[in-house]
Amino acid sequence: MTAIILLGPPGAGKGTVAEALVEKGITHVSTGNLLRDRVRLGTPLGLEAKKLMDQGRFVPDEVVVGMIRNLLQDSGKDTSFLFDGFPRTLVQAEKLDELILSLEGTLEAAILLECPDQAIIERLSGRRTCTKCGAVYHVKNNPALAGDLCDVDGCELEQRPDDHAETIKKRLQIYTEQTAPLIEYYKIRNLLHSIDATKSIGEVRSAALEKLGWVV
Ligand code: AP5
């Protein structure tokens, strides 16, 4: 297996870039989406996770690492993974290294989307997501063709419960404290590629493809 990591603050555009990379055949793994699936299903894990997510706090490392371990162990040896929102702490990064090693895989790159807080607040407060497939839109920057309905499956769009001003601030604070140290973690291993994520969606997607050496 091979793996690529998408790093960056909440709302920098990780999910939006992932949509373009998936078209190249990579398997997108968003821990946020996996957790929201469990919230929708009302599993015990989902109910516990929802309380933390709605406050903008992290779900415990062992829960998230457990989900990723199961997913990797159930996948074929030739799968290429794109991790979005994982790892988010140094513990998670070390556990991911161990998992990749145990599967004789390779971590190929960590793509960092750099975006200032002001742009993030604007993006997250205007974000809308499909209630069924999770496709991501923005009321101004990337609107759905039919207004409140998803272009992919026609289902309703909603505002995420953690996309409100106070929760966004909390998420940014936790990102700085717990996730930003991963930048150095991957930089010293020569795996880090930074992208200016304030550019248009098309430019950011093209930059990610270029950094990976994939055809644009
Ligand atoms: P998660 O779902 O991963 O949220 P996040 O990391 O906070 O990231 P977002 O999904 O909010 O943003 P994004 O960077 O994907 O941006 P997007 O493409 O949507 O996690 C949610 C929660 O789950 C966490 O807070 C935590 O509680 C828990 N969790 C998840 N993983 C965990 C882990 N590993 N450990 C512990 N807990 C975990 O774009 C945002 C908006 O901007 C959209 O509207 C989009 O259309 C627009 N946009 C995107 N790019 C551009 C651009 N270039 N120009 C203009 N607009 C743009």
Query: CA–CA separation, 35 vs 71, rounded Å?
Result: 13
- Ligand 1 atom at minimal distance to the Cα of residue 52: 27
pLDDT on residue 100: 96
Whether 141 lines ligand 1, by a CB cut-off of 6 Å, is yes
End-to-end CA distance of the chain: 23
Asked whether the predicted pLDDT for residue 134 surpasses 90, the reply is: no
Q: Which of 38, 128, 171, 205 is catalytic?
A: 171
Does the annotation mark 160 as catalytic? Answer: yes
| Closest by Cα among 18, 162, 149, 134 to 86 | 18
Q: What is the pLDDT of residues 147-193, one digit of tens each?
A: 999 999 999 999 999 998 999 999 999 999 999 999 999 999 999 99
Indicate the burial class of 88 (C-beta count within 10 angstroms; 0-12, 13-18, 19 or more).
buried
Find out whether the beta carbon of 64 lies less than 6 Å from any atom of ligand 1. Answer: yes
pLDDT higher than threshold 70 for residue 106: yes
- Annotated active-site residue 123? The verdict is no
Spell out the residues 6+ positions from residue 162 whose beta carbon is closer than 8 angstroms to its own: 53, 54, 56, 168, 171
Rounded distance from Cα 91 to ligand 1 centre (Å): 20
Question: What six digits make up the tokens of 15?
Answer: 């999910």
Q: Is the CB of 35 under 6 A from ligand 1?
A: yes
